[in-house]
Amino acid sequence: MHRTLENLLGIFELLRLGVITRFRFKGDYWRWRWETAMGPGHQPTRAETIRRLIRFGVWSRKMRTGRW
């Protein structure tokens, strides 16, 4: 249950970041974030991409709120 709630809050955080960046996923921030997370030229599977995005959302929420 804890992991599910954490993942849902991570998805919410991704939506919040999307609103802040006006969903410009080809912009500088998201391009930089993608290269940092995946590595340049790396093309992960769709499932791997979704897992990594959710993990990033969870991590960014923890960084913003200061809760571990």
**DSSP-assigned states of every residue in 28-67:** HHHHHHHHHHH-TT----HHHHHHHHHHHHHHHHHHHHT-
Instruction: Report the pLDDT value the prediction gives residue 12, as an integer from 0 to 100.
Output: 95
Please state the domain extents for the chain. Answer: 2-65
pTM for the full predicted model: 0.76
Res. 2: pLDDT tops 90: no
Question: Can you list the positions of beta strands (E) in the chain?
Answer: none
pLDDT in tens, 5-46: 999 999 999 999 889 988 888 888 888 888 877 777 777 888
Q: Which residue has the tokens 């992960």?
A: 44
Instruction: Report the pLDDT value the prediction gives residue 68, as an integer from 0 to 100.
Output: 67
Please tell me what DSSP assigns to residue 6: H
Res. 4: pLDDT tops 90: yes
